């Protein structure tokens, strides 16, 4: 295979042991810096992706991904489900509202979710179908609360707790008071991520919300990926449906996680930018060192464009070596990161890892593009060499 003359000369310059050892040292430092920058960026983004995905699976699994309800009226429980988009895994009828809980010893805030089956919420999967029917019978006005909430309100199974809905109120001789009713605690569930959700029978909470027993507030949607929540507006137009999603509860948390990931990526990217700047220095030194040879090549018939390509190719060789070495090292360290942490800390620290192929490609393109841009000025200076001036005293 015949190599372009510019690439061949650039390869010879890169392999040759130049008399300018400082220039060669700067070139090697550029490759090492790019390698370390790419490696660190892959590790940081993979860890941040894993942490974000882990939080998404654990935190968002216990709260409704989305609740859609008609703008006018309510849904009929006897009606069939609407046509669901591909992003939605399943849907169930739901009555949900914020409440104030009052026990004999304390007061707290919570969120009530009305359910019919144990599959209506992931937190209820530990209960069998028959067990849940006994715990939450229709018309029994019973609740299942979290262990944290039970401890805070000092409640046990069989105790009474008053639920007050501040959104709905009624007028009395004493003024306007919230709708309220006493419920019996029938069971306690444990969840490390959710401590304010309580469950009751669908129609029981519907009565407090002034919804008929044959109707419900709307549908609770379970998405394959909660981050696809923005796609729902295409299937459920806002002029017909009202959409409440997980962002009202956890949106700020995941926005902070995303911002932290972006800032970490930006800071580590600065390492690559600093390393790439060494390519400018090394090529500029080489242009000065090779002025005589550049002039001779021009007298032999090389055009200005070919002279530019020599130094562009050489800078790309340095950048490509550093980028590919950093890619290989980054993937190896990322895949074995938990084993390395085990050696450092025998007590064990587990970091969730998720390698995103799109991010890997973007890192490679970013590094190679910076390497290309760093060669433009030295290549331009080399092409501006005047053979008559350089060879005047040769």
Mean pLDDT of the chain: 82
Confidence of residue 201 (pLDDT cuts 50, 70, 90): very high
pLDDT (0 to 100) of residue 173: 58
- The answer, yes or no, to whether residue 172 has pLDDT greater than 70, is no
Mean pLDDT of the region 283-308: 74
Q: What is the DSSP letter of 163?
A: E
pLDDT digits (tens, 9 = 90+) for 122-158: 888 888 888 888 889 888 899 999 888 888 888 888 8
Confidence of residue 393 (pLDDT cuts 50, 70, 90): low
Let me know whether 209 and 166 are in one domain: yes
Mean pLDDT of the region 38-47: 90
Q: Within 10 Å of residue 278's Cβ, how many Cβ atoms?
A: 22
Let me know whether 93 and 240 are in one domain: yes
The more confidently predicted of residues 345 and 356 is: 356
Residue at a domain's end among 176, 210, 245: 245
pLDDT (0 to 100) of residue 16: 63
* Residue of 333, 349, 346 lying closest to 46 (CA atoms): 333
Residue at a domain's end among 245, 271, 286: 245
Decide: helix, strand or coil at residue 346. Answer: coil
pLDDT (0 to 100) of residue 375: 84
pLDDT (0 to 100) of residue 143: 92
State the Cα–Cα distance between residues 356 and 334, nearest whole angstrom: 12
Q: What are phi and psi of 9, to 5 degrees?
A: -65, -40
Domain region containing 217: 65-245
Mean pLDDT of the region 322-329: 92
Percent of the residues in the chain that have a pLDDT greater than 70, as a whole number: 90
Let me know whether 196 and 334 are in one domain: no
Let me know whether 102 and 176 are in one domain: yes
State the Cα–Cα distance between residues 238 and 240, nearest whole angstrom: 5
Residue at a domain's end among 226, 245, 264: 245
Query: What is the radius of gyration, based on Cα positions, of the chain?
Result: 33
- The answer, yes or no, to whether residue 231 has pLDDT greater than 70, is yes
State the Cα–Cα distance between residues 141 and 112, nearest whole angstrom: 12
Let me know whether 150 and 266 are in one domain: no
Q: Within 10 Å of residue 264's Cβ, how many Cβ atoms?
A: 16
Mean pLDDT of the region 307-323: 84
Query: The pTM is what?
Result: 0.73
State the Cα–Cα distance between residues 101 and 208, nearest whole angstrom: 14
Percent of the residues in the chain that have a pLDDT greater than 90, as a whole number: 8
Mean pLDDT of the region 21-46: 83
Let me know whether 195 and 99 are in one domain: yes
Report the domain count for the chain: 2
pLDDT (0 to 100) of residue 176: 63
Let me know whether 79 and 228 are in one domain: yes
pLDDT (0 to 100) of residue 258: 84
Let me know whether 264 and 227 are in one domain: no
- Please give the full DSSP string across 262-301, using - where no structure is assigned: HHHHHHHHHHHHHHHHHHHHHHHHHHHHTHHHHHHHHHTT
State the Cα–Cα distance between residues 185 and 165, nearest whole angstrom: 18
Let me know whether 79 and 102 are in one domain: yes
Let me know whether 164 and 47 are in one domain: no
Let me know whether 166 and 228 are in one domain: yes
Let me know whether 211 and 312 are in one domain: no
Confidence of residue 199 (pLDDT cuts 50, 70, 90): very high
The more confidently predicted of residues 26 and 261 is: 261
């Amino acid at each position: 295979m015949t190599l372009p003359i510019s690439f061949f000369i650039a390869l010879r310059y890169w392999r040759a042991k130049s008399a300018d050892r400082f220039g060669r040292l700067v070139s090697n430092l550029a490759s090492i810096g790019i390698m370390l920058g790419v490696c660190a960026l892959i590790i940081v983004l993979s860890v941040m992706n894993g942490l974000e995905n882990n939080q998404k699976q654990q935190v968002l699994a216990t709260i409704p991904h989305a609740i859609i309800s008609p703008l006018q009226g309510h849904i009929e429980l006897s009606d069939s489900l609407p046509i669901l988009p591909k992003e939605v895994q399943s849907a169930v009828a739901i009555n949900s509202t914020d409440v104030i809980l009052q026990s004999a010893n304390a007061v707290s805030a919570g969120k009530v979710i009305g359910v019919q089956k144990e599959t209506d919420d992931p937190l209820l999967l530990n209960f069998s179908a028959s067990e849940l029917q006994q715990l939450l019978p229709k018309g029994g006005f019973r609740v299942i609360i979290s262990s944290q909430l039970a401890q805070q309100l000092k409640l046990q199974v069989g105790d009474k707790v008053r639920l007050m809905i501040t959104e709905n109120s009624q007028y009395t001789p004493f003024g306007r008071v919230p709708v309220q009713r006493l419920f019996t605690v029938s069971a306690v569930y444990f969840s490390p991520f959710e401590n304010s959700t309580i469950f009751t029978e669908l129609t029981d909470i519907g009565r407090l919300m002034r919804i008929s027993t044959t109707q419900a507030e709307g549908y609770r949607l379970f998405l394959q990926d909660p981050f696809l929540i923005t796609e729902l507006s295409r299937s459920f137009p806002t002029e017909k449906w009202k959409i409440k999603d997980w962002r009202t509860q956890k949106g700020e948390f995941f926005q902070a996680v995303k911002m932290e990931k972006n800032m970490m990526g930006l800071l580590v990217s600065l390492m690559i930018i600093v390393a790439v700047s060494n390519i400018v220095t090394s090529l500029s030194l080489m242009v000065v060192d090779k002025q005589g040879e550049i002039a001779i090549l021009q007298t032999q018939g090389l055009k200005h464009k070919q002279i530019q390509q020599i130094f562009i190719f050489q800078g790309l060789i340095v950048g490509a070596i550093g980028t590919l070495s950093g890619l290989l090292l980054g993937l190896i360290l990322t895949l074995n990161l938990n084993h390395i942490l085990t050696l450092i800390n025998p007590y064990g620290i587990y970091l969730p890892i998720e390698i995103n192929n799109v991010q890997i490609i973007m890192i490679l393109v970013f590094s190679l593009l910076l390497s290309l841009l760093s060669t433009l000025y030295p290549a331009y200076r080399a092409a501006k060499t005047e053979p008559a001036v350089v060879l005047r005293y040769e």
